[in-house]
Structure 1
Amino acid sequence: MAPPATFAESMALQEVMISSPPDIKNNINDAAPTGSRRVFKSTGPAFVPISGVYGGHLLGQSAYAAYKTVDKSFYCHSITGHFLVGGKPKTPFVYTVETLRQGKTYCTRSVQVRQPTSQNNSLLDSEVIFVATVSFKTVEPRGLESQLPPPEGLERWVSNPRGREIAPAVDVPSWIEFTKVKGMRPFYTAVDLRKVDVEEENRSRPLHEHRKVQIYKPVGPFPPEEQSCLSICTHIYASDRNGMFAVTAPHNASDNIIHTGSLSHTLIFHANPEKLLFPDTAVGEEGYFNPSSWTVLEQLGDSASEGRGLIRSRIWSADGVLLASVMQDALIRVRVDNGEKAAGKDNKRKPTFSESLKSML
């Protein structure tokens, strides 16, 4: 198996000059006028949990593409993405970034993502698979400050990162068993994400208060000039990982999934860019596992209904600063009646995730 890609390699883009209209800016530090457009093509690998592309890759790389069109005094403070069509693992992504507004302290970019095939005459003629709105702002003087208190288990969650198991690509019991039978080792790519066992803590909680906890940090060093940008993109990338199972796991229904996927995903940062940094990405092994350098992703399944689930997440620094809040609307169809019919467009019996894996053994 090839070594995991670094986060910087995973985000890599090259600009594509489709045409040269007068509204396209060549200097990324220039403030582009409303309506200007720039196009970028991915060059790095996308993480593939099983067969489809990881949604967090599209979120993070959309933000990274948008970053290339704003002045360095701006940082991303929020992003909302809508997943339209599943991505193909071996096909590059094309990101079209349009300037919606350019202000002095806030600016907004729209990003459309496509995956052109060799049959397309134009990179921009193919189907849009993902759209995002990315908002940027400048750093402001200190003002009002308040936040939720950090969770009681936070200090324990970040302790001993080396001893935490690498989070499975799909955090479902049947998948974990499948990988053991197949002799597949857990691995990470782009972001080192580790699972924290909170099963005992969840036993006494109602279903909607069950938590899923993971800790993470990026893999590999960042170029100094992109330290802030790539740190923020790391948080965006990680925020989508295994979140849907925060809805199914409290119901013991993860193995009974028939169809699941993100519909929309919103992340809002609360902290200034300095608090969002991963400054020690290039340190040696001992420093790498310093608990204070890891970030906590706390996920809760607030609602399950109408074939969908709502995942509410919080991102915490190791010292208890609320860095960001996340809301994710996901398609989640599971078999709940053990009968022949399944939720969906028709009445045909569809195999559950567990049944599909058993057929592959």
Structure 2
Amino acid sequence: MAPRPYYDDQGCALPFDQVMQLEKIDDGTFRSVTKAYSPTGGENGTYGGHVYAQAVWAAAQTVDDGFLIHNVTGWFTLGGRPSEHFVYSVNKVRDGYNYCTRSVTVTQAAEKGTMFTCTCSFKRDETSSADYQDTCDIRTRFREVLKGKEDEPMEHEAAPSQDSASFRETYLPQHPDHFNPIAGLHLRKADMRKFNDPRAPIDRRQLTFYTLRGSLPLPTAPYPPPLQGAFKLTREANLHACAHLFASGRNSLFIIPNHLGRAREFTRMASLSHTVIFHVGIRDLTMTPEPRVPHPNAVPTLFEDGPLPLCNLEGNSGGDRDGRKWFVQESWLTRAAGGRGLHTSRMWDYESGTHLATTLQDGLIRFRPETKL
């Protein structure tokens, strides 16, 4: 049986929990249910963030309650096929009291070999007297590109299926009926030209806002977790973290040629490895439910019948006018040489300014021989 499509016949995109749904084969083997996002809309190539996040969710099925993903590095070895299921094989590396480690190998057509592998580290929640981070007021630093949309990230354009010049300038004009929404999250791309144009490539930035589609199981018991006193992490806390992982690599490598001003001069691009390090616990990673309020700028979410989710629970008030809680990824080019490029980002809670995670992606990117910087 083919994987389930990521949007239905009415054009509604699946919520995140359905995108990540797994079928258990045995205690260490799991299979995807939903088709991975295909940026081209065809049958070649899948969004790497799907297999990256779902590999962690598969690994989370093998750890005890109370452990939350805090570090994952993955290597992409073969391109994904949207028409085929992913099969996740989880290996137990170590179970300690505070930390546990898993490795995951992923295949599609078995005869083709491993297409992705990763190492995941989970840890127990703990408090610390030391909590330090760089401060960045996104609204102030990027005010010229956020003006008029500071409180409504959904007013930015949807992140494109593929953030390349050829897709924007050639493919879309030739295919005006193009419809290929990404499921799981709402992702919006800020137009950064006013910020980036006067700056050198190394100082340019891209802001991508993201918020949950649908709702997820509660990450703690009780919920919300008390500011003082004990609470228990559920296994589903990792599903909340996986939503951030899913967002972390979206259109990431295209930033390199775009920020270099050579958007049409690359000949080959592919992810090689991707690392995400979470700096916070579940209090800051929780994805609050999406309100069932249609937005004129957004592809609707396929909500299942049932009671409405409770939005803006205690400790999670705020958000946009409809009650959506937004996060933002600040991305930039760090290095390009030797047929490769390095994408770096910080992921923030847009409202509180908490630095949630740091990402590092090494990618294959080749430019035409005549390209000069």
Same fold by TM-score greater than 0.5:
yes
Which residue of 116, 120, 126 maps to 1:140? Answer: 126
Aligned ranges for residues 206-221 of structure 1 at < 5 Å?
206-221=200-215
How far apart in 2 are the matches of 1:65 and 1:293?
A: 26
User: How far did 1:284 drift?
Assistant: 3.3
How far apart in 1 are the matches of 2:117 and 2:69?
A: 16
Please name the residue that 1:329 is paired with. 362
User: How far did 1:205 drift?
Assistant: 1.8
Aligned ranges for residues 195-214 of structure 1 at < 5 Å?
195-214=189-208
**1:106 equivalenced with 2:99 (yes/no):** yes
CA contact (8 A) 2:32 2:86 kept: yes
- Distance change in 2, residues 1:77/1:154 (3 Å): farther
CA contact (8 A) 1:302 1:312 kept: yes
How far apart in 2 are the matches of 1:41 and 1:63?
A: 13
**Which protein is richer in helix relative to its size?**
1
CA contact (8 A) 2:16 2:185 kept: yes
Please name the residue that 1:296 is paired with. 328
- Distance change in 2, residues 1:306/1:295 (3 Å): same
1:78-122 C-alpha deviation (Å, 9 max, x unpaired): 1000000111111101000011010011000000001136xx6xx
How far apart in 2 are the matches of 1:141 and 1:191?
A: 30
How far apart in 1 are the matches of 2:264 and 2:186?
A: 25
Secondary structure of 2:365's counterpart equals: strand
Please name the residue that 2:251 is paired with. 242
TM-score between the two structures when normalised by the length of structure 2: 0.79
Please name the residue that 1:21 is paired with. none
TM-score between the two structures when normalised by the length of structure 1: 0.81
Please name the residue that 1:169 is paired with. 161
How far apart in 2 are the matches of 1:86 and 1:187?
A: 20
User: How far did 1:257 drift?
Assistant: 2.3
Please name the residue that 1:253 is paired with. 262
Which residue of 321, 337, 341 maps to 1:309? Answer: 341
Which residue of 114, 118, 141 maps to 1:153? Answer: 141
How far apart in 2 are the matches of 1:98 and 1:134?
A: 10
Backbone CA RMSD of aligned residues: 2.2
Secondary structure of 2:244's counterpart equals: helix
Identify which range, 261-270 or 159-168, moves more after superposition: 159-168
Q: Whose RCO is larger (CA < 8 A, sep 6+)?
A: 2
Please name the residue that 1:342 is paired with. none
How far apart in 1 are the matches of 2:96 and 2:268?
A: 42
How far apart in 1 are the matches of 2:195 and 2:340?
A: 25
How far apart in 2 are the matches of 1:216 and 1:141?
A: 27
Aligned ranges for residues 49-88 of structure 1 at < 5 Å?
49-50=39-40, 51-88=44-81
Percent identity, aligned pairs only?
32
User: How far did 1:181 drift?
Assistant: 2.9
Task: Please list every run of 5 or more consecutive structure 2 residues that lacks an aligned counterpart in the other structure.
Answer: 1-8, 220-234, 296-310, 312-318
CA contact (8 A) 1:232 1:277 kept: yes
Count of aligned pairs: 313
How far apart in 2 are the matches of 1:216 and 1:299?
A: 13
CA contact (8 A) 2:209 2:329 kept: yes
